[in-house]
Amino acid sequence: MSGTSGSRPVLLLMDFQHGIVESIGAPSVVDAADRAAKAARAAGIPVMFVRVGFRPGFPEVAASNASFSAAAQAGDAYLQDHPATQVHAALTPEPGEPVIVKRRVSAFTGSDLDVLLRGAGADTLVLAGIATSGVVLSTLRQAADLDYRLVVLEDACADRDEEVHRVLTGKVFPRQAVVTTTDEWIESL
């Protein structure tokens, strides 16, 4: 499930940052992401972290952007240097593992993810993140349009709405990705 023979996967751990993890309260999802990261490292698969954050004053946020203009009005919790936007302590990146700062919902938009993936020679993305209906959905759609093979670790994703998570992982994502559990993916390595 890591992709076809000869594939070059990269594990993307997306929006596992303090403010988001703590607001969702999904310790089993963080645990699954941690298991995936440890297994990827052991198998020589690059691990990359993605987080959302903005510069002071929120110059990247247009007033017309309903989601992020509300975040900008809420205060400093979405500033790129704020503790709430840092990778969750349970998933500390190892030296040399990139931490990508994005400026929108998709991991690609407003970040250098594409350059890093090309540098790694990636052709397969293994996705884990919070929220299933946010960063996972947006990144999956954009990655599919960029011709990546895709794997979604269903139990390493979470959403505030469990029904939305179930529909996306059970009905929508399988059209463009292999949807599996973290343990099944680890066994396939």
Q: Yes or no: say if 153 and 180 are a contact pair by the CB < 8 Å rule.
A: yes
Residue 4 has pLDDT above 80, yes or no: no
pLDDT in tens, 117-140: 999 999 999 999 999 999 999 999
A 10 A CB-CB count for 123 gives 16
pLDDT in tens, 53-81: 999 999 999 999 998 888 888 788 999 99
**Torsion sign over Cα 57, 63, 65, 66:** positive
The β-bridge relationship of strands 99-102 and 47-52 is parallel
Instruction: Tell me how far apart the alpha carbons of residues 183 and 153 are, in angstroms, rounded to a whole number.
Output: 9
Mean pLDDT of the chain: 95
**Which pLDDT score, from 0 to 100, does residue 99 have?**
98
* pTM of the model as a whole: 0.95
* Mean pLDDT, residues 143-172: 98
Strands (E), the chain: 9-14, 47-52, 99-102, 124-130, 149-158, 178-180
Instruction: Tell me how far apart the alpha carbons of residues 8 and 173 are, in angstroms, rounded to a whole number.
Output: 21
Task: Give, in order, the Cα–Cα distances in Å from 182 to each of 5, 66, 74, 175.
Answer: 19, 33, 35, 19
SS3 133: helix
